[in-house]
Structure formats: C-alpha cells, structure tokens
Amino acid sequence: DARVTQTPRHKVTEMGQEVTMRCQPILGHNTVFWYRQTMMQGLELLAYFRNRAPLDDSGMPKDRFSAEMPDATLATLKIQPSEPRDSAVYFCASGWWTGRNTEAFFGQGTRLTVV
C-alpha cells in the first residue's frame, strides 16, 4: 500500500527554535509538493520539486523557510527561526508528472504548534 509518509505527525516548539519536517514520497513519483493548511488561508502551495529540483517556491517565506530534497526518498521543509504564525498543518504530496497532469497523493500532515 504505497503512501506518502510524513514525520513527525505533531510538533510543538518554542518560538525561535528550528523545525524540520520530513516527507517520504511514494516510490517512483517524480514530483513533490509542500502545502500549508490554516483556518484563515486554507490550503496554500509553498513549494514543489520535480526530479528533486525546486521548480517553484514562490509561496514560501524565504527568509525563514527552506525546502530541499537530499535524495529521491526524502523531502524536508525547515523553518528557522519559527514563529507563532507558522502554526499550521503542513502537508507533503507526491505525484508522477505525465506532461499534462500530476495526480497528487497527500500525506497525513504534520501539525505544527509554535508557542
């Protein structure tokens, strides 16, 4: 049963601390997305990669957020330093780009609380 795996499921941290969220995409998928879900903004695309290369990170606050794919089996989203307004659920999704479409399969998300 292939699925996108995200760790941790929950994270509570103090303001100013570094937070790293991890994602294992479905094996064979060549596109990875990071989304953020909040009550106020809903679901927003932060960044996405294809074949491990970042294609678009315009939705991400670059002063404190960074996204990487060290290898094909791991994507990371890092916040440094974290702030209370970063509290949200962060979703990773992966898919296979067909040239027309990418069907995105979501992980279960990381609920981040910054106090």
Binding site for other proteins (CB under 8 A): 31, 33, 42-43, 45, 48, 55-56, 59, 89, 91, 93, 97, 100-109, 111
Query: What are the structure tokens assigned to 33, written together?
Result: 């997305």
Nearer residue to other proteins within complex by CB, 76 or 97: 97
Q: Rounded to the nearest whole angstrom, what is the least distance from the CB of residue 16 to other proteins in the complex?
A: 26
Is 47 or 114 the residue whose CB approaches other proteins more closely? Answer: 47
Tell me the two tokens of residue 42.
Answer: 């809903």
Give the separation between CA 69 and CA 81, rounded to whole angstroms: 20
Of residues 36 and 86, the one with the C-beta less far from other proteins: 36
CB atoms within 10 A of CB 68: 15
Residue 33, exposed/middle/buried by CB under 10 A (0-12, 13-18, 19+)?
buried
Smallest gap from Cβ 82 to other proteins, in A, equals: 20
